[in-house]
């Protein structure tokens, strides 16, 4: 697809992603581990792991990850909450939604915040104005916006050699994996924050393994 030359690199790539959401590559466990191994070699490994895994293990949109604030994840005792309550302004649509965090994802987020704050600082943070700051900080600014986060993911996938993957890949992989494990469609819709079943179904990639498993049920 050709994009006008005067758009910026960030806008260029993210515009393509929005148009080609259904074609975003889903990753299997081996490919996700490959991505995480690459991320572990980077300076901000804990941050990048947590950002990526919030899309793969919680099905969050890249814009939601960027919009998440410290107050959304930190409990009063400095631990990570079991759920993130996103406002309508933080989501893509007009509605608020709740993101359920698996225990393994809570551990990843905890590991990240502990690279920024001590346990004592985390507890004090929950009672200060700094609790309203973005969860994920960058070197040059307090947090990511949708475009910078989108482009950041693009560069991570590219450097890891995972062509065809984009910031939509985690969300698509999340829903595809749960569908393969026979999670009911209604539950998938709730986890994705969708109000229409057709929207959720567009995210699910039918793999060869899913088809083979299906015919074995006959």
Is it the case that residue 1 has pLDDT exceeding 50?
no
Distance CA 86, CA 18 (A): 21
pLDDT at position 176: 95
First to last CA, the chain: 42
Is it the case that residue 72 has pLDDT exceeding 90?
yes
Nearest to 125 by CA among 199, 73, 193: 73
Position with higher pLDDT, 164 vs 6: 164
How many H-runs (helices) and E-runs (strands) does the chain carry? 12, 2
Is it the case that residue 211 has pLDDT exceeding 60?
yes
Please give the class, per CATH, of domain 9-215: mainly alpha
Cβ of 157: how many Cβ atoms within 10 Å? Answer: 22
Question: Average of pLDDT values for 117-126?
Answer: 84
Distance CA 86, CA 91 (A): 7
Distance CA 194, CA 93 (A): 9
Distance CA 180, CA 48 (A): 27
Is it the case that residue 141 has pLDDT exceeding 50?
yes
* pLDDT confidence band for 216 (50 / 70 / 90): confident
* pLDDT confidence band for 214 (50 / 70 / 90): confident
Q: Which two tokens stand for residue 131?
A: 């609790």
Positive or negative CA dihedral for 104, 108, 114, 117? Answer: negative
Question: pTM score, two decimals?
Answer: 0.86
Distance CA 68, CA 81 (A): 13
Angle between helices 169-180 and 185-192 (to 10 degrees): 160
* pLDDT confidence band for 98 (50 / 70 / 90): very high
pLDDT at position 22: 54
Least confident of 17-31, 55-69, 92-106: 17-31
Distance CA 190, CA 174 (A): 13
Distance CA 135, CA 132 (A): 9
Question: Average of pLDDT values for 59-68?
Answer: 96
């Amino acid at each position: 697809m050709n994009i006008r030359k005067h758009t910026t690199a960030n806008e260029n790539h993210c515009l393509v992603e929005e148009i080609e959401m259904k074609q975003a590559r889903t990753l299997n466990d081996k490919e996700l581990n490959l991505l995480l191994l690459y991320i572990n070699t980077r300076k901000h490994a804990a941050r990048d792991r947590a950002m990526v895994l919030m899309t793969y293990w919680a099905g969050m949109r890249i814009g939601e990850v960027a919009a998440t604030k410290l107050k959304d994840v930190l409990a009063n005792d400095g631990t990570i909450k079991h759920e993130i309550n996103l406002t309508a302004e933080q989501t893509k649509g007009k509605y608020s939604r709740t993101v359920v965090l698996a225990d393994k994802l809570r551990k990843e987020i905890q590991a990240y915040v502990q690279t920024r704050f001590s346990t004592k600082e985390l507890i004090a943070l929950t009672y200060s104005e700094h609790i309203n700051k973005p969860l994920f900080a960058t070197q040059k600014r307090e947090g990511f916006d949708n475009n910078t986060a989108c482009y950041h993911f693009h560069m991570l996938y590219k450097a890891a050699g995972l062509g065809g993957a984009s910031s939509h890949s985690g969300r698509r992989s999340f829903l595809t994996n749960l569908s393969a494990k026979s999670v009911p469609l209604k539950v998938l819709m709730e986890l994705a924050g969708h109000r229409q079943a057709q929207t959720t179904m567009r995210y699910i990639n039918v793999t060869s393994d899913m088809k083979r498993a299906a015919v074995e049920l006959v």
